[in-house]
Amino acid sequence: MTGKAERMTGARAFVECLYRENVEIIFGYPGGVLLPIYDELYDAHLHHLLVRHEQAAVHAAEGYARATGKVGVCLATSGPGATNLVTGIANAYMDSVPMVAFTGQVPSSMLGNDAFQEADITGITMPITKHNYLVQDVKDLPRIIKEAFHIASTGRPGPVLVDIPKDITTDELDFVYPDTVELRGYKPTFKGNAQQVKRAASVLKGAKRPVIYAGGGVIGSEASKELLAFAEKLKAPVTTTLTGIGGFPNDNELYLGMPGMHGTKYANYAIQESDVLIAVGVRFDDRVTGKTTSFAPNAKIIHIDIDPAEISKIIKVDVPIVGDAKQILGSLIDQVSECDTKDWLDKIATWKRDFPLFYVNRDDVIKPQYILEQINEVCPDAIIVTEVGQHQMWAAQYFKYKEPRTFISSGGLGTMGYGFPAAIGAKLGRPDKIVVDVSGDGSFQMNSQEMATIVQNNIPIIIAIFNNGYLGMVRQWQALFFEHRYSHTTIENSVDFVKLAEAYGAMGIRVTKPSEVKAAIEKAVEFNGPVLIDFIIEREENVSPMVPAGAAINEILDLEDIQ
Amino acid sequence: MRHTLAVLVENKYGVLARVSGLFSRRGFNIDSLAVGITEDPTISRMTIIVSGDDHVLEQVMKQLNKLIDVIRVIDLSSEEFVERELALIKVNADANNRAEIIQIVDIFRARIIDVASKSVTIEVTGDIEKIKAIQTLLKPFGIKEMARTGIVALKRGSKSL
Ligand SMILES: Cc1ncc(C[n+]2csc(CCOP(=O)(O)OP(=O)(O)O)c2C)c(N)n1
Ligand SMILES: [Mg+2]
C-alpha cells in the first residue's frame, strides 16, 4: 500500500491484510477471543463460510487450495477451536498444500497462565507447520500476515499458522501493508541448476526403459503441461502417485496409472525394470516404494524436487535437481530427444493387456468399482474428493482423471473425515465443477455434521457413500493377515444415511441394485443441490491388486482371484 | 562420525524449541548444543555436535535449513576449526589430597575458583578430549557435581562464516 497510513485496530487490519492477499473466502468458526475479528467480518467484503466443526474449516480450506491452487485460509478460536485444527494442519503439511490458519489466543497478559481456553497452539503445531507465529505486537501483524502467505505459497508449499492474542485485535496501529518480504533464512531455490539439468539430459540420452514417476509436486507447480510434453518427447511412460493423480491425462497411451501398494501391476513392473527413473515432485513414500532396498533396482534415478531435504532422504538418487518442477521440466524438454523405447512400450502394452486392473462385476450386488465407472460416465469432468479407505483406492483406480486438481484426497496423513469438508472447499473454489465426495460409511461419520453447512448455504455437493457396513480397509487387512478376525471393524446399520440427509434438509437417495446406480447419479447431478447417495455395496470386496507391506512392489497380488 | 555444526539463527523466541524439536522428531542425536548471541544482536549462533554417518548429517543440515528462522548451517568439521568448552567440576578435597588436585589443575591449565573445607571447584576450558581427561584424573577423588557449557567453535584463520 502506498499513501498515508490509516489508524485502525488489529481486527480491522486483519481484514485489510486478507484483502491485500486477495483472499476471497475463509472457513471459520467464532469464539470469545475472536469477537473483535468477527465483528469486522460482519460487513467485510469477504466470503466467510461458517462450518460446524473447526476440523471441517481446515479441511475445507485445504480442499479449496487444492482445487484452485490458491492459499486456503481458515480461522478458529483459542483453545479447543485451535486444537480442532490440528489434524487438518498436519494433513496439509504432509501433502504440501498452501494454507494459512489463523487462531485466536488469550490476551497476551494471560499467556502462560493456563487461562480459560488457552492452548499453546504454536508449540503444538511446530512439527506440522512450515512455520508459525505468535503475534506479540499489533505493529507486526501486517508483516506477519504478509510473510505467512508468502511462506505458505512459495517453495515447497505448506501450512503456516498465525496465533493472534485478543488484545492484538483491539490494539491500534498505523496500517501499512508491506510490498515485499524480507526473510534472510528463507530463499527457496526455484531455478534448477543448469549443470544438473545437463547431466539429467545425458543420462536420458541412452535410456531404453525410462519411467517417469510424478507426484503432487507436479500439481503444486502447475507442471502438467510440461510433464505431458516431456513424456511425449521422450516417449516415456508415466505413473502418478495418489497426490499426483490428474497431473497426467489418464487416457494417454503413456499412462501407467498409480504405482505402489494398490497401484497397477504394470506401473510397478515398469518401475522395477526401468533403467532410468525420472522422479518429479515425489518423496518416495513407503506406500509407493514398498521394500526400499529392492525399489527400481536397475535404474539410474533423476529426482526433481523443490525441497532439497527430499533428495536422497529415502533412496539414494543419481542426479538430483532442486527447483520448481515446471521450470526444470521446461528446460529439460529442450535438451532431450526421443528415446528408443519401442520395445519397452511394447512390453508395457503386453503387461497392460495381461495384467489389467479388473474386477468381477455382478448384476445382483453393486460393485464399488462399477459405481466409479458410472460416475465417470455421467460426469467425466467432475472433481472427485475422497475420504480414506477402500473407496479412496477405488476412486484412484477407476475414475479417469484428465486434468490436474480434479482428484483431491488425503495422501500422506490418510485422514478419515477429510473428504466431505474438502469437497465443500473445492466446490466453493470451483463452482463451475460438479464435486463428488467419494465416501465410506465410516469416514463420512467423522464429519457428517457438515451436512448442516451445505444445506444452510445450499452448496451443491454429491456425497456418494460406499456403504459396506465395515471399516473396510482395516477389515481387508484383518481378512488377509489376521484370519478374518473382524475386531471392531463392523459398523453395519449404524445410521440410516438417507434419513440423516433428510433430517438436515438435503436429498437422500438409497441405491441397492446395480441397475439403479447410473440413474441415481444422474438424478443427483440434475438436482444440483446438497445430495447424499447411499450405495449399498458388496460388503467384503477387497482393493486389488495389493503389495503386502514390506514386499517389493513387483510382488503384487490379485485379491479378486483369492476371493 | 562426529560433526560440529555452526547454525546461525534469528534471535527470536521459540527458535531453540524449533531446532531441538526437529532433532528429537527426526531421531537425530545431539551430543552437545550451545547457544548465544553473536556480534549481531539479531542473530544467535548455535553450535551443535551430532554423531552420524554422511546420510544423517546431510538430512540434519537440510532439515535445519528448512526452518525459516535458520539463516545458515555450516559443517565446521569439513574444515580446520577450533572448539572449546568450559566445565565446572566440584571435587571432594581435604588437606590430605588438595595438593595433588592442584597439581592436576596446573597441568591442565585449569583454575580453582572456589575452595571449601571438603571440596574444591575447578574451572577448565578445552576441547572434548581435554575435559574428558581431567574428568578421568579427578574421578578417584570423587566428583560431586559437574556442569558444562557445551562446545562452541569457530573456523580457523581470518575468514569468518
Ligand atoms: C482419522 C482416522 N482414523 C483411523 C484411520 C484408520 N483407517 C484407515 S481406513 C479405515 C476404514 C475406513 O472405513 P470407511 O470410511 O467405511 O471406508 P472403506 O474402507 O469401508 O471404504 C480406518 C479406520 C484413519 N485412516 N483415519
Ligand atoms: Mg466402509
Catalytic residue among A1, A116, A403, A502: A116
* pLDDT interval class at A378 (50, 70, 90): very high
Chain B: give the shortest CA distance to residue A55, in Å: 24
Chain segment A175-216, per-residue pLDDT in tens: 999 999 999 999 999 999 999 999 999 999 999 999 999 999
pTM as predicted: 0.96
Q: How far is the CA of A119 from the centre of ligand 2 (A)?
A: 34
Catalytic residue among A117, A335, A449, A456: A117
Other C-beta atoms lying within 10 Å of the C-beta of residue A463: 29
* pLDDT interval class at A499 (50, 70, 90): very high
**Which residues of chain B does A312 touch, with a Cβ-Cβ cutoff of 8 Å?**
55, 58
Other C-beta atoms lying within 10 Å of the C-beta of residue A453: 25
Chain B: give the shortest CA distance to residue A183, in Å: 8
- Asked if A67 and A107 touch (Cβ cutoff 8 Å), the reply is no
Chain segment B65-117, per-residue pLDDT in tens: 999 999 999 999 989 999 999 999 999 999 999 999 999 999 999 999 999 99
Quick one: which atom of ligand 1 is closest to the CA of A441?
Answer: 16
Q: How far is the CA of A402 from the centre of ligand 1 (A)?
A: 27
Q: How far is the CA of A305 from the centre of ligand 2 (A)?
A: 36
Q: Do A309 and B62 touch (CB under 8 A)?
A: yes
The mean pLDDT of A343-364, rounded to a whole number, is 97
Q: At what angle do helices A141-153 and A10-20 cross, to 10 degrees?
A: 30
| Residue A422 burial (10 A CB sphere; 0-12, 13-18, 19+) | buried
| Residue B145 burial (10 A CB sphere; 0-12, 13-18, 19+) | exposed
Residue A125: name the closest of A146, A145, A141, A105 by CA: A105
Chain segment A434-451, per-residue pLDDT in tens: 999 999 999 999 999 999
Catalytic residue among A258, A261, A473, A546: A473
Mutating to test ligand 1, I would choose from A398, A473, A538, A546 the residue with most ligand atoms within 8 A of its C-beta, which is A473
Chain segment A302-321, per-residue pLDDT in tens: 999 999 999 999 999 999 99
Return the pLDDT at A242. 98
Active site residue A166: yes
The mean pLDDT of A443-470, rounded to a whole number, is 98
> Who among B9, B59, B68 is closest to A313 (CB)?
B59
Q: Which residues contact A77 (CB under 8 A, 6 or more apart)?
A: A29, A30, A31, A32, A33, A34, A103, A104, A117
Grid cell 484383518 is found at A478
DSSP letter (8 states) at residue B109: T
**Which residues of chain A does B59 touch, with a Cβ-Cβ cutoff of 8 Å?**
309, 313
**Pocket of ligand 1 contains residue A388 by CB under 6 Å:** yes
- ipTM entry: 0.91
B65-69: long-range pairs with CB below 8 Å, 24+: B65/A308, B65/A309, B66/A307, B66/A309, B67/A131, B67/A185, B67/B9, B67/B18, B67/B19, B67/B22, B68/A130, B68/A131, B68/A151, B68/A183, B68/A185, B68/A186, B69/A131, B69/A185, B69/B9, B69/B10, B69/B12, B69/B14, B69/B15, B69/B18
Dist CA A321 CA A197 (whole Å): 7
Residue of B nearest to A120 (CA): B14
Q: Do B68 and A185 touch (CB under 8 A)?
A: yes
Weakest-pLDDT range from A66-70, A144-148, A333-337, A556-560: A556-560
Residue of A nearest to B62 (CA): A309
| Residue A548 burial (10 A CB sphere; 0-12, 13-18, 19+) | middle
* pLDDT interval class at B1 (50, 70, 90): confident
First-to-last alpha carbon distance for chain A, in angstroms, is: 65
**Which residues of chain A does B68 touch, with a Cβ-Cβ cutoff of 8 Å?**
130-131, 151, 183, 185-186
Mutating to test ligand 1, I would choose from A94, A393, A416, A463 the residue with most ligand atoms within 8 A of its C-beta, which is A416
Other C-beta atoms lying within 10 Å of the C-beta of residue A194: 11
CA dihedral (A545, A549, A555, A557) positive or negative:
negative
Which listed ligand is nearest to A469 at the C-alpha?
Answer: 2
The mean pLDDT of A47-58, rounded to a whole number, is 98
**Pocket of ligand 1 contains residue A541 by CB under 6 Å:** no
- CA dihedral of A452, A458, A460, A462, whole degrees rounded to 10: 30
DSSP A328-387: HHHHHHTT------HHHHHHHHHHHHHS-------SSSB-HHHHHHHHHHH-TTPEEEE-
Within A10-151, strands assigned E span 25-28, 47-50, 72-76, 99-105, 131-134
All three cell numbers of A31, joined, read 469464539
The mean pLDDT of A284-288, rounded to a whole number, is 96
Mean pLDDT of chain B: 95
Give the H or E element holding residue A534.
strand A531-536
Active site residue A222: no
Residue A37: name the closest of A78, A7, A83, A2 by CA: A78
Count, residues in chain B: 161
* pLDDT of residue A508 exceeding 90: yes
Active site residue A54: yes
Residue of A nearest to B71 (CA): A185
All three cell numbers of A465, joined, read 457413500
**Pocket of ligand 1 contains residue A31 by CB under 6 Å:** no
**Pocket of ligand 1 contains residue A368 by CB under 6 Å:** no
Return the pLDDT at A3. 60
Give the closest residue (by CA) to ligand 1 atom 1. Answer: A416
Other C-beta atoms lying within 10 Å of the C-beta of residue A491: 18
Active site residue A393: no
**Which residues of chain B does A127 touch, with a Cβ-Cβ cutoff of 8 Å?**
21-22, 25
Dist CA A241 CA A257 (whole Å): 8
